[in-house]
Amino acid sequence: MNYLKTVKPVMACGIFFLCFSVFKVPELLCQEPEDAMTIAVTEIKEEGYEPPAGLSLSDVENARKLTNKRIYGLAVLWLLILLVIFLVRIQARDDEKLYWKGYYSGTNKLE
């Protein structure tokens, strides 16, 4: 029954916190709101103020349209991807060469 030695304090802590929470909660909930703390106001719009127009489906269609900027962005992305692939290929080829010579790439140590 050795494990009780460790279980007991844990249980005691649990029960303690349980009691604590039970006694604590009603105290917090008992605060009643004071009556009528707010006052109603009406907003005065500035001159030339227009409420923002709601977005419609045609706006979405516009946002989906292909623009020159997007094509340009895509081109740059592919350029970068191809560059990285090119660099990776160089390294991969070097790895391959070293590997068949009996070297483990990255460490230059004999296997």
Partner 1 sequence: MRLRESLLSRRKFFIGSVLGGLSMLVAYVLNPVVRFLFHREKIPLPGAVKVAMSDVEAIAPNSARYFEYGHLPGILLKTERGELRAFSAKCTHLDCTVQYEPESRKFYCACHKGYFDDKGVNIAGPPPSPLLSFGMERQEDGMIISYQGGRKSKG
Partner 2 sequence: MIDLKKEINERIGMDTILGLARKKMVPVHRHSVWYYMGGMLLFLFFIQVVTGPLLLFYYKPSADAAYRSITEIMVKIPYGWLIRSVHHWASNLMIAIAFIHFFSTFLLKAYRRPRELTWLTGMAMFMVVLFLGYSGYTLPFDERSFFALNVGTDMPGTMPVVGQYVVGFLRGGEMVGPQTLNRFFALHVGILPLCLMAVLFVHVVLVQVHGMSVPLSVEKKTALKKEKAIAKPMFPHLLLHDLVNCLILFGVLVTLAVLIPSELGQEIDYLKPAPEGVKPDWFFLWVYQILKWMPTYLFSIEGEIAGIVGLMLVAGFITLVPFFNRKAQRNELSPFFTMVGVISLLAFLALTAVGYFL
Enumerate binding residues for partner 1 (CB under 8 A). Answer: 36-46, 49, 76-77, 80-81, 83-84, 87-88, 90-91, 94, 105-106, 108
Please tell me whether residue 104 adopts helix, strand or coil conformation. Answer: strand
Q: Closest separation between CB of residue 25 and partner 1, Å?
A: 19
Q: Number of residues in contact with partner 2, rule: CB under 8 A?
A: 28
**Cα separation of 107 and 110, whole Å?**
9
* CA nearest neighbour of 90 among 101, 79, 105: 105
- Judged by CB under 8 A, the residue of 11, 13, 25, 85 near partner 2 is 85
As to burial, measured by CB atoms within 10 angstroms (0-12 exposed, 13-18 middle, 19+ buried), residue 103 is: middle
Q: Closest separation between CB of residue 45 and partner 2, Å?
A: 22
**Cα separation of 29 and 80, whole Å?**
60
Q: C-alpha angle 66/68/72, rounded to 5°?
A: 110
- Judged by CB under 8 A, the residue of 10, 28, 39, 55 near partner 2 is 55
Contact call for residue 20 and partner 2 (CB under 8 A) = no
Residues interacting with partner 2, by CB under 8 A? 55-57, 59-60, 62-64, 66, 70-71, 73-74, 77-78, 81, 84-85, 88-89, 91-92, 95-96, 99, 104-106
